[in-house]
Amino acid sequence: MAVNGILGIKLGMTQVFAEDGTVVPCTAIQAGPCVVIQRRTRDRDGYDAVQLGLVEFVKPQRLTKAQRGHLDKAGVPPMRFLREFRLEESAEETKPGDRVLVDAFAAGEQVDVVGVSKGRGFQGGVKRWHYRGGDKTHGSMFHRAPGGIGASSFPSRVWPGQHFPGHLGSDRVTVKNLRVVKIDTEENLLLVRGAVPGPAGSYVMIRKAKKGK
C-alpha cells in the first residue's frame, strides 16, 4: 500500500510564469522528507494507515519521555510534527522507517492542503461574521454592534449558535483541489496554485485530492 500524503512547512507565496506568459500565484511548501513512524493495520487497529513524521532538527529535550520512547521504538531521530495518512492499494508494503518524499506527487495533479489558520484574537461581529453594520451618519448610535440577539415572547431566549464577538482564527482549515504547479525533488519543494491556511513557517498536511475534478 502507498501513502497518499506528505507533511510540510509553508514557506510563503510566490508566482510562476506559465508557458503562455500568464502569472500563476503559488504557495511554496517544503514537503518532507518524511519517515514512517508507525503502521496501522486493519486486523489490529481497524483501518489501514501510517503515522508520518517530518524530518527536521529538534532537540531531544524538547520532547517528552513518552514521545522519545515512541520515536526510539521506530528507530528514528526526534521529530515534532506527526500525523496519520490513510493508505492506498499498492503492490509495495509500507513499514516503519520507510521514507516518503515529494516525488510522490506530480505536476498537474490536485491535492488537498490542511493547516491551521492565522489567529486573529478577539474580534467583533463585523470582522468575525461579516456583519454589514449600521449607519455611520445622521445621528446613528448603531455602528458595529450585533443588533438584536433574541425575540421577546417566543422563544424568550437566545438561540444556540447565535453569532457573537469572540476568538477568530486558529482553526483547522482544509483547502481542496489545489493544482500542483511544480515540484523540486532536490530541495524538497512543492508549489501549489493559490493560498493555503496558516502563516509562513506553519506546518501543513498535503494529501492527494479526495474529490479532485
- Residues 148 and 61 reside in one and the same domain: no
- Residues 131 and 49 reside in one and the same domain: no
- Residues 164 and 69 reside in one and the same domain: no
Residue 94 predicted with pLDDT over 80: no
- Residues 78 and 181 reside in one and the same domain: yes
Q: What is the CA radius of gyration of the chain?
A: 23
Query: What separation in angstroms does the CA of 28 have from each of 79, 90, 192?
Result: 22, 29, 7
Q: Is 127 helix (H, G, I), strand (E, B) or coil?
A: helix
* Total domains present in the chain: 2
- Residues 14 and 64 reside in one and the same domain: yes
SS3 of 39-98: the string is EECHHHHCCCEEEEEECCCCCHHHCCHHHHHHHHHHCCCCCCCEEEEEEECCCCCCCCCC
Q: Is 213 within the bounds of a domain?
A: no
Encode pLDDT of 15-35 as tens digits: 989 888 899 999 999 987 888
Q: Is 97 within the bounds of a domain?
A: yes
| Distance between CA atoms of residues 50 and 96, nearest Å | 8
Q: Is 199 within the bounds of a domain?
A: yes
| Distance between CA atoms of residues 5 and 111, nearest Å | 9
- Residues 146 and 157 reside in one and the same domain: yes
- Residues 103 and 196 reside in one and the same domain: yes
What confidence score (pLDDT) does residue 147 get?
83
Q: What is the mean pLDDT of the chain?
A: 87
Residue 91 predicted with pLDDT over 50: no
User: Where in the sequence is the domain holding 183, given as residue range(s)?
Assistant: 2-119+172-208
Residues 81-96 have a mean pLDDT of: 76
- Where residue 93 sits, what CATH number does that domain have? 2.40.30.10
What's the grid cell of residue 135? 449607519
| Distance between CA atoms of residues 143 and 136, nearest Å | 6
- Residues 40 and 58 reside in one and the same domain: yes
- Residues 147 and 134 reside in one and the same domain: yes
- Residues 114 and 21 reside in one and the same domain: yes
- Residues 42 and 78 reside in one and the same domain: yes
Evaluate whether 193 touches 17 at the Cβ level (below 8 Å).
Answer: no
The count of C-alpha atoms lying within 13 angstroms of the C-alpha of 120, restricted to the half-sphere facing its C-beta, is 13
